[in-house]
Structure 1
Amino acid sequence: MEQGQIVTTGREKISLTESSRFDQLLEHIELIAALLSGLFIFIGWLSSQWNHETISMTFYLVAFIIGGYAKAKEGILDTVKNKELNVEMLMVFAAIGSAVIGYWTEGAILIFIFSLSGALETYTMNKSQKEISSLLDIQPETATKIIQGREEVIHVSLLKVGDQIIVKPGERIPADGMIIKGTTTIDESTISGESIPVTKGIQAEIFAGTMNVNGSVIVKVTKHANETVFQKIIALVQSAQSEKSPSQLFIERFEGVYVKIVLLVVLLMLVVPHFLFDWSWNTTFYRAMILLVVASPCALVASIMPATLSAISNGARNGILFKGGVHLEALSHVKAIAFDKTGTLTKGKPEVTDIIVRTGVDTKNLLHTIASIENRSNHPLAHAIVDYWKKAHDQPLLQPEKIEDIPGWGLKGWLHHQEWWIGKKDFVGKDALAFENGRAMELEREGKTIVYIKDSIGIVAAIGLQDIVRKEAKHALTLLKNEGVQTVMLTGDSKNTAKNIAQQSNIDEYIAECLPETKVTSLKNLKDKYGVVAMVGDGVNDAPALATANIGIAMGEGSDVAMETADVVLMKNDLSRIAEAIRLSKKMNRIIKQNIIFSLTVILLLITSNFLQFLNLPLGVVGHEGSTILVILNGLRCLRG
């Protein structure tokens, strides 16, 4: 066996399978404990009906221990760590108090329902982790590295920048890199959301986690395993799940104060009613225990976190990554969104939109000549013209005899012993202004970039190019308007270009000729005007503006700096996801409000009923713990849609 090769034996596979089953069992351990507790309570109740009190109490005691262990441990550890009592401790005190006064059944039921609500909370946490688990499953653990002509299977963490790996048909790509040998078709739906596979050849960029469909390629690694796009996605989701929203932080601070107040009132309840209302000691203690149960803010505490985690999971599943609940919560308050133009509203590269040819000249032959000369240039406008020719015609390009590049102006090319000038109007001559009755100048006024072509006679053609608006941009902006959001475009382009793009994309207003620092100033002005403002961008120059906005939104195909600076990342580069994110934020905040109002109402109703002696302990337990389960289930609605 070659050094470093990874081999899994049959015995190891069985061990891994058993380990996997054990891990699955651990995931549901809280639910299993809660159900076992319920079973022992039922057996204890049956035993009491048959007058076997000792057996009944034994089963109740077992139900206490099995059902209450997880929550009691959590409560004790949190109390020791934070030096403050919490809701879990209130439940433990209430259950013990119920047993002390002989209400074993009620105390056991309290523990059962409390453990069941805890299992539901754990389910929510596990559900929110599924997106990370699915991503980790997609990311391969091993790679086939080429070392001195031989293949060696190693762990992806051992790959270094510059290593060469081979990716065979049907394998997932283990690292971000560049193809240096071979051609293949790659399914990039896990990164871009685009379902149609893309054909890629030498020097093409590929991403970890995408699927190599049909070709064998050799790839040069360009990023460390912990710097790949997939690892960034995982890090973003993990960060989002650990960061708490303002509402959650408020509830946690409120919980500490509230628990102290409840315990103080319960202590007073143990003494005052006996002397003030002439209650018996048994009644006083009984009502104090009911108060301890019903006044605990379990439902209130559970009103926010399950809903927030569910919403973050929903977003991650749909390609919207939130870097924390605070950003998700704030998104519903956005009144205006500023968009960068290039690469955000537009595709980020110019395309040919208009061709004006001198009367009497064959357009196809002329374009063939222009594309053949421009093929020798690295300028983006030249690439656009060449791409336009290749998409329309299968005819191979010609080889110019000579090319002379004049930086900042254009090209001179000689083809078939004829000289051609291609570039700006000042480069080709004053005749450009009058070419074809000034039609080219009309295109320029529309904000398009014009490339002029001149032969030995004079101006022979003018080609209009423009950064094309993304197909989904207009629809996405319409969706935002339906949500009552004002849309603004910030661009460094001229006013004519900005106006043209604004009209095409149906944006409300635009600010042209922006430098990175003026984008920041413009955003500050928008914040003064509208209040909460978001910024959508993709480039390094957008990072200051993304940081200045209340909420920064980065395109997934954008620069690393933009993704790191932003609060929300659109992994599928679909602008319509912004409106979806706002709707998700509104839904989450609406559910949280419902939960808080409902939980507070139930607590007040149960406390009042207890003081009026309308409420017994079983109903108090069911009312209190039932409301906790209901708010958790209501929060899980954020997983849908």
Structure 2
Amino acid sequence: MENSHEGRKQSQEKNHEESHEHDHNHGKGPIVFYLIGLSLYIGALFLSNENVFLTNLLFLTALILAGYHVILNEGIAETIENTKRAKKFIPNSHILMGLAAIGASLLGEFNEGALLILIFSGAHFLEDYAEGRSKSEISSLLKMNPTTARRLTSDGNTEVVDVKELEIGDHLKVLNGDQVPIDGIILSGSTSIDESSISGESIPKEKTKDDEVFASTINGAGTFTMEVTKTTKNTVFSKILELVNQNQNNRTKAASIIQTFEPKYVNVVLLLVLLVILLGPILLDWTWGQSIYRGLVLLVAASPCALAAATVSVTLSTTSNLAKKGVLSKGSSYLSNLAKIKAIAFDKTGTLTHGKPEVTNHYFSDSVNEDDLIDIIVSLEKKANHPLADAILRKFEAKQLLEIEVTNQIGKGLTGMYEGKNYRIGKPTSFETVSAEYSKLNTDWATQGKTVVYVAEEEKVIGILALMDTPSEHAKTTIDYFKKQGVHTTLITGDSKMTGEAVARELGIDEVIANVLPEDKSVIINKQKEKYGMIAMVGDGVNDAPALVSADVGIAMGDGTDVAVEVSDLVIMQNNLSKLVQAHIISTQMNRVTWQNILFSMAVVVFLVTISLLGLTDISLSVILHEGSTLVVILNGLRLLKYGKSA
């Protein structure tokens, strides 16, 4: 893991250098100083006009405390770093705001200088808070990685060893309920194994001699011995972990419109201010004092104060609104991307479906008493320990519970004797002769993606049950919504093609990709990015984690695994897909309001620059108009607090 950690660190450093993105992890210090500065500013406002020196001193102190981190540590430092890297001057708006505040102070307008910095720094801190830059690590994934194994020694005893010590060819013992420690094949014994962490399939797989088993999967009621066939670095689970780690490192947040536009805007303003100062005395017969004053007024007028706050209220309002509706966002950039998706992919189990099988069909022979047969079925299944048993017991209720000694035979199913007759519940392939009636039902239901089991008396089939993980109540309307928006829908599942296509037909999904391994999901997402553009992925399991990270927007179901929730960008609480529809609607409106604020802010800047160049304004008026425009964009963003109906 040291190598993996070092690689991740190097990749993070590379991304840091290439993306113009900075980790604004302020800590508590800058926030505390900002609050102190804000308090000093408010206090200065209440001082009498007679205490001019003290008032200005408080304003200046407030300016320094509130702005030192944003202006010096991020403005100047980031500008120097970007300039060195690009080998050309690349400033940011931090520099512009700092110069404007200094200019205002030099002209004796300490109040205005402090106010500019308080507004700008406050917006900056709020934006970082709202963005909540996602730093999803893989700690939960690591916790699921097996750490110990029961290795068989040459004398037949077992010893508990660290999984890292295992070598190919070692023999291990896996007890009932154990986590399979590493990939291998079964040497002896039989069991059923929950492989949902690998395949996403909710129904455990029956395993016996020569079958493959995978690390991190959960053993059922049986005990078996196995031979190690892969090292810990090459297991299927470790590949999932590696893919998540790699994809996280490779992901870079798309630069916002403001970030892309910012350096050019600052350069233009700085050049314009310099020209005004230098050319004023030559072309307009100003004194140097007048020229410098007009240049500083222009600097204040052109400072993008409202632009800096343009997205903050929109972001906070949108994230707050969605949180109340049960959608948690790890950053406004992901909500913005959600509004722009051209394709969306869904996992099946636990995402589009309930995540557990239900009895959907049953048929019993006319020659048997249905109530008596149900009593026998329930009595047999009560002694079983697998999801199919739970589903059958939820469907049927016994009139009377019978005392039947039950044997669970892997590959054969449940068997038990009652009143001198043997009854068995098993999969169709375990029966040698079946009537045409039951064979046809089996074929019809299986083609619908259902799991079929037979009920037999003395090996003669007398009943048939079909079970399926059924779609959730909101799945169909969610798919319909995205299709109406022109968004391509895809079902990506580890299940069989038949099962996947059956669910897709019922829900109206455009495309089905089945029999998919976790590493394949990530590749599929990347291919769909190339084909369709921006894509979202919705999932709930460990096996979905690489795809969730690869997607432009990773969306986890709230009842899913901790890993899926941790690496995703949005979390849909209560597994209610209708909330995803609401998130898309509100995020689309968020983008509209953001554009409204940006255009309005720029219009204010253009107006202020124009009247400044014409000599029709001073610093005080510029600051008042800045405050007013900032208030307008904040109020416009706050509209999103109430946008959309509650689910």
Q: Would the alpha carbon gap of residues 381 and 67 (structure 1) be closer, same or farther in structure 2, given more than 3 Å must change? A: same
CA-to-aligned-CA distance 1:85-113 (integer Å, 9 cap, x gap): 624422322322332xxxx5xx5355446
Structure 1's 298 and 503: CA in aligned 2 closer, same or farther, altered over 3 A? same
For 2:125 and 2:536, locate their aligned partners in 1 and report how far apart those are by CA, in whole Å: 33
- Specify the code of the residue in structure 2 equivalent to 1:625: E
Question: How far does the alpha carbon of each residue in 1:68-93 deviate from its partner, in whole angstroms, 9 at most, with x for none?
Answer: 35434343454565466624422322
> Does 1:382 pair with 2:384?
no
Task: Pick closer, same or farther for the CA change 1:550–1:58 going to 2, 3 Å.
Answer: closer
Q: How far off its partner does 1:431 sit?
A: 2.1
**Structure 2 residue 279 is matched with structure 1 residue 272:** yes
* Of 497-506 and 595-604, the range deviating more from structure 2: 497-506
User: In structure 2, what is the equivalent of residue 400 of structure 1?
Assistant: 404
1: CA distance, partners of 2:597 / 2:516: 45
Partner of residue 96, structure 1:
105
Query: 1:324-356: per-residue Cα shift (whole Å, max 9, x none)?
Result: 444333222211111111121111221111120
Contact 1:322 1:328 in 2 (8 A): yes
- Give the Cα separation in 1 of the matches to 2:79 and 2:45: 32
Question: Alpha-carbon deviation of 1:414?
Answer: 0.9
* DSSP 3-state at the match of 1:471: coil
Whether the 8 Å CA contact 1:244–1:326 is kept in 2: the answer is no
Determine the C-alpha separation between the residues in 2 that align with 1:369 and 1:442.
Answer: 26
Q: What residue is the counterpart of 1:465 in the other structure?
A: 467
Could you tell me which runs of 5 or more consecutive residues in structure 1 were left unpaired when the two chains were aligned.
Answer: 1-23, 45-54, 130-239
Decide whether aligned partners of structure 1 residues 337 and 60 sit closer, same or farther in structure 2, where only a CA change above 3 A counts: same
- Aligned to 1:246, which of 246, 251, 254? 254
Moved more, 252-261 or 523-532: 252-261
What secondary structure, in the 3-state scheme, does the structure 2 residue paired with 1:470 have?
coil
Q: Indicate the SS of the match to 1:468.
A: coil
Shift of 1:359: 0.8
Tell me the alpha carbon deviations over residues 91-139 of structure 1, each in whole angstroms, 9 at most, x when there is no partner.
Answer: 322322332xxxx5xx53554465356556667777899xxxxxxxxxx
Aligned partner of 1:133 in structure 2 is: none
**Residue 413 (structure 2) pairs with residue 410 (structure 1):** yes
> 1:410 Cα shift?
1.6
- Mapped partners of 1:526, 1:124: distance in 2: 31
Pick from 279, 290, 309 the counterpart of residue 297 of structure 2. 290
SS at match of 1:349: coil
Give the counterpart letter for 1:304 in structure 2: T
- Pairwise mapping of residues 46-65 of structure 1 onto structure 2 (< 5 A)? 55=50, 57-58=52-53, 61=56, 64-65=59-60
Alpha-carbon distance in structure 1 between the residues aligned to 2:296 and 2:527: 57
| AA partner of residue 56 (structure 2) | L
How far does residue 309 in structure 1 lie from its aligned partner after superposition? 4.5
For the residue of structure 1 that corresponds to 2:462, the secondary structure is strand
Q: Distance in 1 between matches of 2:444 and 2:637?
A: 57
Could you tell me the TM-score, scaled by structure 1's length? 0.66
Tell which has more relative contact order, 1 or 2 (C-alpha 8 A, sep 6+): 2
Q: Do 2:404 and 2:418's aligned partners in 1 also have CA atoms closer than 8 Å?
A: yes
Q: Measure the CA separation in 2 of the matches of 1:515 and 1:383.
A: 27
Q: Hey, what does 2:178 align to over in structure 1?
A: none
Of the three residues 307, 310, 318, the one matched with 2:314 is 307
In the alignment, is residue 73 of structure 1 matched against residue 77 of structure 2? Answer: no
Q: Which runs of 4+ in 1 moved over 6 A?
A: 24-28, 123-129
- CA drift of 1:432 comes to 4.1
Distance 1:306 1:79, change over 3 A: same
Shift of 1:366: 0.8
Name the residue aligned to 1:216: none
Q: Is the 8 A contact 1:346 1:468 kept in 2?
A: yes
Q: Give SS of 2:355's match.
A: strand
Pairwise CA distance, 1:450? 1.5
Residue 492 of structure 1: how far off its partner (Å): 3.5
Q: Retained in 2: the 8 A contact 1:551–1:567?
A: yes
Corresponding residue for residue 183 of structure 2: none
Query: What is the CA–CA distance in structure 1 between the aligned matches of 2:112 and 2:517, rounded to whole Å?
Result: 65
Deviation at 1:60, TM superposition (A): 5.2
Query: CA deviation digits over 1:227-273, x for unaligned, max 9?
Result: xxxxxxxxxxxxx9xx995345x645765665465445434423321
Q: Which residue of 1 aligns with 2:173?
A: none
Which aligned pairs between 1:360-379 and structure 2 lie closer than 5 A?
A: 360-379=367-386
Number of aligned residues: 482
Q: Is 1:30–1:119's contact at 8 Å kept on the other side of the alignment?
A: no
Compared with structure 1, are the counterparts of its residues 421 and 77 closer, same or farther at alpha carbon in structure 2 (3 Å cutoff)?
A: closer
Contact 1:447-1:498 at 8 Å conserved across structures: yes
Distance 2:332 2:115 in 1: 30
1:349-379: CA deviations, max 9, x gaps? 2111112011142222211101111222223
| 1:306-455 correspondence to structure 2 within 5 Å | 306-389=313-396, 392=397, 395=399, 397-401=401-405, 403-435=406-438, 438-455=440-457
Structure 2 CA distance for partners of 1:25 and 1:60, relative to 1, 3 Å = closer
Query: Residue by residue, what CA displacement relative to the aligned partner does 1:459-495 show, whole Å, maximum 9, x if unpaired?
Result: 2111111111112212222332343322221234344
The reply on whether 1:583 has 2:599 as its aligned counterpart is: no
Superposed, 1:221-236 pairs within 5 Å as none
Paired residue type of 1:352:
V
**Structure 2 equivalent of residue 599 of structure 1:** 601
Letter in 1 for 2:449: G
Contact 1:420 / 1:454 at 8 angstroms: preserved in 2? Answer: yes
Aligned to 1:486: 488
In the TM superposition, 1:160-199 aligns within 5 A as none
**Which residue is equivalent to 1:552?**
554
Distance 1:123 1:83 in 2: 21
Q: 1:127–1:310: 8 Å Cα contact kept in structure 2?
A: no
The structural deviation recorded for 1:67 is: 5.1
2:536 — aligned with what? 534
Percent identity over the alignment is 37
Which of 510-519 and 377-386 deviates more?
510-519
Secondary structure of 2:296's counterpart equals helix
Distance 2:412 2:52 in 1: 94
Q: In structure 2, do the counterparts of structure 1 residues 522 and 591 end up closer, same or farther at CA, with 3 Å as the change threshold?
A: same
1:291 is displaced (CA, Å) by 0.7
| 1:97 and 1:289 in contact (8 A); partners too | no
In structure 2, do the counterparts of structure 1 residues 481 and 259 end up closer, same or farther at CA, with 3 Å as the change threshold?
A: same
Do the aligned partners of 2:479 and 2:507 also contact (CA within 8 Å) in 1?
yes
Q: Secondary structure at the match of 1:348?
A: coil
User: Taking structure 2 as the reference length, what is the TM-score of the superposition?
Assistant: 0.66
Tell me which moved more, 423-432 or 255-264. Answer: 255-264
Equivalences for 1:253-264 in 2 at 5 Å?
255=262, 258-259=265-266, 262-264=269-271
- Indicate the SS of the match to 2:586: helix
The residue that corresponds to 1:509 in the other structure is: 511
Q: Is contact 1:338-1:490 (8 Å) kept?
A: yes
Deviation of the 1:534 alpha carbon: 1.7
Code of the residue aligned with 2:307 in structure 1: it is: L
Distance (Å, rounded) in 2 between the aligned partners of 1:337 and 1:475: 14
Cα deviation 1:281-327 (Å, max 9, x = unaligned): 45323322311210222222333345335434444444333344443
The alignment status of 1:630 with 2:632, answered yes or no, reads yes
Query: Relative to structure 1, is the Cα distance of residues 65 and 517 closer, same or farther in structure 2, using a 3 angstrom cutoff?
Result: closer
For residue 271 of structure 1, give the secondary structure of its aligned residue in structure 2.
helix
The one-letter code of the counterpart of 2:407 is E
The corresponding residue for 1:612 is 614
- Given that 2:413 and 2:427 are in contact with CA atoms closer than 8 Å, whether structure 1 keeps it comes out as yes
Q: Give the letter for the 2:337 counterpart.
A: A
Aligned to 1:411, the other structure's residue is in SS state strand
